[in-house]
Amino acid sequence: MRKLRAWLLRFKGLFLKDAREKELTDELESHLQMHIDDNIRTGMSPQEARRVAIMKLGGVDQAKEAYRDRATIPFLESVVQDLRFTLRQLRRTPAFAVTATAMVAIGIGASVAIFAFVDAALIKPLPYQDPSRLLYVSETNPDIPLANLSYPDYLDWKKLNTSFESLEVYGPRGYPISTSTGMEIVDGARVTAGFFRTLGVGPLLGRDFQTGEDLPEAPRTLILSYASWQKRFGGKQEIVGQPITLDETPYTIIGVLPQNFHFAPVENAEFWTTVNPIGTCFPKRSCHSLRGIARLKDGVSIEAALADVTRIAKDLEAQYPDSNRNQGATLGPLSHLIVGDVKPMLLLLLGGAALLLLIACINVASLLLVRSETRRRELAVRRALGATRMRLIRQFVIESLVIVVIGTIVGLFSSQWAMQMLKGLIPIGMLAGMPYLNDLAFNSRVVLFAVAIAGFGAALFSLTPAFRLASLDMREGMAEGSRGSAGKAWTRIGSKLVIVELTTAMVLLVAAGLLGKSFYRLLQVDTNFETKHLITMTIRPPVSAYGEDPQAIALGRKIVNEVKNLPGVTAVALTDLLPLTYNSNTEWIRFAGREYSGEHNEVNHRGVSSEYFVTLQAKLLRGRMFNDSEDQTKPKVAVINQTLAKKYYPGEDPIGQRFGDTQLDPKSMKEIVGVVDDIREGTLDSDIWPAYYYPFNQNPYINYSLVVRTAQDDESLLPTVADAIRRIDSRISIANETTMMARVNNAPTVYLRRSAAWLVAGFAAVALLLGVVGLYGVIAYSVTQRTREIGVRIALGAQRSTVYGLILKEAGALALAGIVIGTGCAILAASLMRKMLFGTPPWDVTTLVCVAAVLGASALLASFLPARRAASVDPISALRAE
């Protein structure tokens, strides 16, 4: 305790220097006076008295020195001195100070911002109890790696498995509700009763679903998300127990979920209800509408669980060969399902940020090296005056610490800004699918990361000059105008560092180039319909009024006609699933008059109204389109896409052929009347699947999307179209009003590649700048070192062009080395990010050549300035300067 007190006082002593010095001087002065008085009393002369007193004290300055050592902490005292000296030095060279700290700030800011995203998405555990034991569970088949579960399969899996503590299913579902602006469709989800218990999440208010509440006869219950409770019900406590009508069915609100709860697979679901398996889909093994989550039993590995469900799926396949053929099982950690899409992109960006950090660090290190070179004489003088090597090294350590600390602080502030900006760039719709980004923030892990890289930077920056210092020859340093081996040594180290920088810049540039090209390729993908000037929206009429087929057909016709009459609209159609959504809504078909051995000919099917192909401007290749009079009274017809025609009717004319379901049920048989070009139903980066289209009027449904072709400006027509539909019946819900172009641009496949391309391009641009500045630095320094040599050459008759060549050759060698090594590294790095590429190989020659050209040209530019200075050296003054 006493010791601590003493240390604290000594620490305080660091800052009270002036007052303490004055007091000590006074005290010693009074001491001397008293001693002198005594000495005079014993008969000495005043001079003699003073001399003896000072001698006895052991010298005034020596006494003060001893006192000072005790008053403060000598080590810290000298650190404070070094710190003051450093700050003075930095103030004297503001260009260096600003450049170095700015580089540190850029490097740290970028990496910390990206790391915060990585942390929120990949490191931070999901907000469930013991999330590492949670799995996604789904069926799988050769065409669809992650296929939904059918309800009967789910029940069997639940009953037969030995690996799961619990297995539950969920599925997204929209619920129409009436709001002040008319009917609206609210995102929701239906789950089996144990869903929240499996996640380990309890409600904030009210209660969870109870066992049995997900059975068909159970009364309908509903749990609200926190956001929905706040937004739609004003956050009232008495909400629990209130009735609510959704989709014309009465529900009771039984609970509210906690604020931090999120479940990305169903995005921003507001209403959570139970599955209640009624309707046509649930009893069928072939109707896959649910996704599974499970909690592993203790001691069961993921592999064992996978083997378990695979065995069950095999048994079911044997038992139900018709519906379960090729239906395997798959599972994995729930986190993979939730962050699987963004993981490669985030790791890519983290890699980019790391390279940027590396290049920034190397630049700062070279700046510090150059500085230590220019300070050689000063250092030699200080050594000669008795400074220890440690003391000199400490000076460098403190200098780099100051730069790193300031740079880190600036970097942290800018990363905060960058994080918000990056998050702001994510479209709202996609952000809803990334709820884990809600707690994007500085947390202990992010701060630890920042401290770690700052520490790494500080170590690097203090070690490089310190290392150089070890080889410092004192005499040489002192020698007037010496430009001996040390200068050359720096040029050697510096040029190696520049090669690393150029290599790094090359890697980033190539990555940006490949991503940019992938993005371009993706947008060039032929959708086989016109995406411009096309409006889309989801429509959901009330079941009670339009549940019967004739009513549904009549409403469909009415909507199409009303909208078509609007000014600016040229064509209108209905479809049950918009193009560019996903390959889904599939069916297994069987061809009339052919051998059949139970294989699954899985094809997309879409119910569309008669003007669908006209509206999309899809090319009809053979036969005819539908006409509006083709309804249930007429023979069933279908239009197939080119892929289906090629796959199943190779070398045959499909027109007039018939196909149906796997049983060839007469009611399911359809005659092919036309072949249409491959309208891209799935995402831009997925394959074209076989598909057939059937007339809406022959098999109507009441959840559909509207496609509207407009003459010019599409976006401004959105409200007009919605109003026209609401005028038909105000009970019709409308959602997702947007344009096809917006859908394309905001699609995750497009968005992820676009943002990756832009961000990596940003990193690459900064890296290029830093690399080129680094090259300039080395060449410029080398020219200064060689001024005398160049002067001699010119004096001996060397042409200016020879001098240019001399310097440009030096720079060219460095740039070439950087480009060659960089090409190798870039191909390697690009192979690692192959997942992010599309239609572009990692060794794409055009990209490599373009990047090499850009880098080479920039390097040439950077070395041209020093070369010109070298060529304009005046031989006389160059020689005299020595």
Distance CA 41, CA 32 (A): 14
Copy the structure tokens of residue 180.
């002040």
- The C-alpha atoms of residue 712 and residue 527 are separated, in whole angstroms, by 20
Nearest CB to another protein, comparing residues 31 and 622: 31
In whole angstroms, the minimum distance from the beta carbon of 387 to another protein comes to 25
DSSP letter assigned to residue 666: G
The verdict on 2 binding another protein (CB under 8 A) reads yes
Q: How far is CA 275 from the centre of its chain?
A: 34
HSE-CB of 854 using CA atoms within 13 angstroms: 21
Which of 70, 809 has the CB closer to another protein? 70
Strands 569-575 and 704-710: antiparallel
* Residue 42 vs 444, nearer CB to another protein: 42
Q: Which amino acid is present at 442? A: F
Token representation of residue 492: 């050697």
CB 763 within 8 A of CB 356: yes
Can residue 11 be called a binding residue for another protein (CB under 8 A)?
A: no
Q: How far is the CB of 8 from another protein (least distance, A)?
A: 9
Whichever of 70 and 532 has its CB closer to another protein, that residue is: 70
Site for another protein in 26-85 (CB under 8 A): 26-28, 30-31, 33-35, 37-38, 56-59, 62-63, 66-67, 69-71
Judged by CB, which is closer to another protein: 69, or 665? 69
Rule CB under 8 A: say whether 319 interacts with another protein.
no
CB of 29 to another protein, least distance (A): 9
H or E segment at 561?
helix 549-564
Please identify, using beta-carbon distances, which residue of 11 and 413 lies nearer to another protein: 11
Q: Shortest distance, CB of residue 27 to another protein, whole angstroms?
A: 5
Which residue type does 814 have?
L
For another protein, the closer CB: 41 or 91: 41
* Span interacting with another protein, options 1-9, 105-113, 247-255, 441-449, rule CB under 8 A: 1-9
- Tokens 């968005």 belong to which residue? 751
Least distance to another protein, CB of residue 390, Å: 23
User: Given phi > 0 = left and psi -120 to 50 = alpha, else beta, which region is 741?
Assistant: alpha
Kindly tell me which of 3 and 594 has the beta carbon lying closer to another protein: 3
Beta-strand (E) ranges in 576-710? 586-591, 601-608, 620-623, 637-641, 658-660, 670-676, 691-695, 704-710
C-beta pairs of 77-82 under 8 Å, 24+ apart in sequence: 77/14, 78/391, 79/394, 79/398, 80/14, 82/394, 82/395, 82/398
Write down the least CB distance from residue 31 to another protein, Å: 5
CA dihedral 787, 790, 791, 792 (to 10 degrees): 130
- For another protein, give the closer residue by CB, 27 or 378: 27
Binds another protein (CB under 8 A): choice among 23, 526, 653, 713: 23
Q: Which of 6, 16, 215, 452 binds another protein (CB under 8 A)?
A: 6
In DSSP terms, 537 is beta-bridged to 706
User: What length is written for the chain?
Assistant: 882
Residue 872: strand, helix, or coil? coil
Nearest residue to 150 via CA among 298, 354, 324, 2: 324
Q: Output 18 or 303, the one with its CB closest to another protein.
A: 18
Cα(522)–Cα(743) distance, integer angstroms: 14
Tell the smallest beta-carbon distance from residue 44 to another protein (Å). 16
Q: How far is the CB of 70 from another protein (least distance, A)?
A: 4
Residues paired with 674 in a beta bridge: 623, 639
Quote the least distance from Cβ 30 to another protein, whole Å.
Answer: 5
Q: What is the dihedral of CA 355, 357, 363, 364, to 10 degrees?
A: -160
Integer Cα distance of 295 and 134 in angstroms: 5
Short-list 529, 111, 151, CA closest to 359: 111
Minimum CB distance to another protein, residue 81 (Å):
20
Q: Based on CB atoms, which residue is closest to another protein, 5 or 91?
A: 5
In the bound state with another protein, the residue whose beta carbon lies nearer, of 5 and 92, is 5
DSSP state of 238: G
* Least separation in angstroms between CB 386 and another protein: 23
As measured in angstroms, the least distance from the Cβ of 56 to another protein is 5
DSSP secondary structure letters along 213-271: TTSTTSPPEEEE-HHHHHHHHTT-GGGTT-EEEETTEEEEEEEE--TT---GGGTT--E
Please report where in the chains the tokens 């902490």 appear, as a residue: 73
Which amino acid is located at 849 in the chain? V
Under 8 Å between Cβ of 692 and 641: yes
Q: How far apart are CA 375 and CA 469, in angstroms?
A: 11
Which helix (DSSP H) or strand (DSSP E) does residue 152 occupy?
A: helix 151-160
Binding string, 549-568, against another protein, x = CB under 8 A?
Answer: --------------------
What is the Cα–Cα distance from 648 to 742, expressed in whole angstroms?
35
Judged by beta carbon, residue 57 or residue 614, the one nearer another protein is 57
Choose between 72 and 575: whose C-beta lies nearer to another protein.
72
Within residues 585-614, the interface with another protein by CB under 8 A covers none
For residues 35 and 521, which CB has a smaller minimum distance to another protein in the complex?
35
Half-sphere exposure of 363 (CA within 13 A, CB side): 34
CA atoms within 13 A on the CB side of 668: 14
Nearer Cβ to another protein, position 66 or 857?
Answer: 66
**Count of residues touching another protein (by CB under 8 A):** 29
Which part of the chain contacts another protein (CB under 8 A), choosing from 25-33, 131-139, 507-515, 742-750? 25-33
Minimum CB distance to another protein, residue 20 (Å) = 10
Which of 55, 95 has the CB closer to another protein?
A: 55
| Residue 9 sits in the site that holds another protein (CB under 8 A) | yes
The distance of closest approach from Cβ of residue 50 to another protein in the complex, given in angstroms and rounded to an integer, is: 14
Shortest reach from residue 4's CB to another protein, in Å: 10
Let me know: does 114 contact 353? Beta carbons within 8 Å: yes
User: From the CB of 7, what's the least distance to another protein, in Å?
Assistant: 8
Would you say 66 or 278 has its CB closer to another protein? 66
Cα angle vertex 242, ends 237, 247, to 5°? 130
* Interaction of residue 523 with another protein, rule CB under 8 A: no
- Is the separation of the CB atoms in 553 and 631 below 8 Å? yes
What are the φ/ψ torsions at residue 434 (nearest 5 degrees)? -125, 60
Q: Using the Cα atoms of residue 502, residue 504, residue 507 and residue 513 in order, give the sign of their dihedral.
A: negative
Output the smallest distance, CB 810 to another protein, in A. Answer: 59
Sign of the Cα pseudo-torsion (250, 255, 259, 262, in order): negative
- Residues forming contacts to another protein in the complex (CB under 8 A) are 2-3, 5-6, 9-10, 23-24, 26-28, 30-31, 33-35, 37-38, 56-59, 62-63, 66-67, 69-71
